[in-house]
Structure 1
């Protein structure tokens, strides 16, 4: 069945707005771009565009007269609230705010003062009976990993943080990655695929409160592996635990290092699952086949000189002895990195680095009657009330074990108890004092089922 052409307005003139406008034109819709400055993006002159002033309501309502749908890519809160008012005045049927990010229910209640986006969402809920709306949840744009990042790909202006090349998760050019530790997942999508999804959704009869658009869902390990495969090099990987990210975020805010604080905040958002979701439950009209990350990276970096050819040319001139000495001096400037996999917390760590002592295993049993069923550790049960409140015991005592990583299972004799309060463990012939938080190791090394507990069968 042929869908009648819709009159679609797109607020903004950046890369995402242009992708949406082009996709709408390809599907036969009438498109109008709203711009504050016609000179800022000369490349949009091939598209229908009108100049507006977000501070003048009449300017907006006049431009939107006769429009069926408005899609905003303008993130400024005041501008979006003005657009909502203009839609109501001009009797626009549908509105999609500039919320092309993560799941609404996973976002923290506190948000940056410069962008009180919850005001926009609250207003849309208030006007739901007069103005239909949805939020397109898309995860992370693949353009973050492009040459020049979001700015270089034309998605946004350079104002703000985390918009340049290599500023989040992957630095493809430098072959480096900084990711949350563990089995964290996130969804990724290319901007043009997101635009095609948004335009296809225009033809749906009903809009849900949020529409999930996922190009590819990956673990952080899969993300790095794909980047290494395309780059042809092993990446230098930094993995950081949730608790360390929290501490680092507080430290960066205290020092006023807002760029770094924003980066750590995004890593925390990824860790808590804000960008991890299943595909849309509702069927999107049309045929939507998003590009995978590997294909996107190959296309985005195909014609970029990364300097590898020049390096290879120089290395070919060296004799075998000099080449070996050169590579060893680069790879092992002081002490050789020895990457290992911990069979209990499942983190890759440097056996010669400070993170070798950072194994943390959460309780895998339930707290019951003042005792954790997994390890037998006891705790004081508290009365909960409005006047005297304590955080849940799972937050007060989150870990069964904190100590050194292990690449082989603990065995009988690796730990022994000297008295009721002092616990010791033995490793490589040395005896170390502990603070009493390894009780479950002492118990489990005596258990015939201990071997079954490693590598994820019960420990998450």
Structure 2
């Protein structure tokens, strides 16, 4: 609808989950507080939505900014701009975190039925959020994200990504952020 009502050029940016949250507090970010979803790196715990085998895109906000800045100077913008910092499954993510920290994580899996009822396994870091976002609402939000990740909605297509258009931009990976934030 926007395209038919204005000559304003725009693009819808899709970048997956912000990787910043998994490196805090050591990894620089302008995001205010850690928002723990699926993997609680600080507490060596994970509550994986679904099987944990579906690829998910993770991108640090500074890398999103680099791609957006490059796009602003480009002559044309796609309707959707996909940015891929890294693509890993939750199981891969946990394996990297365990390797980096040198500890075994306590891992549980939340099945589709649990997620459909808007419930998730509570992670230790969630309690610190309840003053801002009550438990029931947080569970609802995270269960929704869990259903989306388990369904593959965050498995963004690489062939349409800005990474291909701007190959000189090398975004940080899950391993980069976890090593910077948590290496033992």
- Map 1:7-406 to 2 at 5 A: 122=1, 124-127=2-5, 129-148=6-25, 153-156=29-32, 164-165=34-35, 167-182=36-51, 183-249=53-119, 257-281=136-160, 283-285=164-166, 287-301=168-182
In structure 1, C-alpha distance between the alignment counterparts of 2:23 and 2:92, rounded to whole Å: 18
The answer to whether the 8 Å contact 1:181/1:242 transfers is yes
- Give the TM-score of the pair, scaled to structure 1: 0.34
Bigger relative contact order, structure 1 or 2, given CA contacts below 8 A and separation 6+? 2
1:288/1:141 CA distance change after superposition, 3 Å: same
Task: Give, in angstroms, the shift of residue 231 of structure 1.
Answer: 1.2
Q: What is the total number of aligned residue pairs between the two structures?
A: 168
Which is greater in Rg?
1
The answer to whether the 8 Å contact 2:23/2:180 transfers is no
Whose helix fraction is larger, Structure 1's or Structure 2's? 2
In structure 1, C-alpha distance between the alignment counterparts of 2:137 and 2:94, rounded to whole Å: 26
In structure 1, C-alpha distance between the alignment counterparts of 2:26 and 2:142, rounded to whole Å: 14
Structure 1: segments with no counterpart, 5+ residues:
1-121, 157-162, 250-254, 303-307, 309-460
Structure 2: segments with no counterpart, 5+ residues:
120-133
Q: C-alpha deviations, 1:202-224, integer Å up to 9, x for none?
A: 22221111011001111111011
The DSSP-based 3-state class of the residue aligned with 2:108 is: strand
The answer to whether the 8 Å contact 1:137/1:212 transfers is yes
In structure 2, C-alpha distance between the alignment counterparts of 1:147 and 1:155, rounded to whole Å: 9
Task: Give, in angstroms, the shift of residue 284 of structure 1.
Answer: 2.5
Task: Give, in angstroms, the shift of residue 196 of structure 1.
Answer: 0.8
Task: Give, in angstroms, the shift of residue 256 of structure 1.
Answer: 7.8
- Give the TM-score of the pair, scaled to structure 2: 0.79
Give RMSD over aligned pairs: 2.7
Q: C-alpha deviations, 1:261-280, integer Å up to 9, x for none?
A: 11211111211222111225
Task: Give, in angstroms, the shift of residue 286 of structure 1.
Answer: 6.3
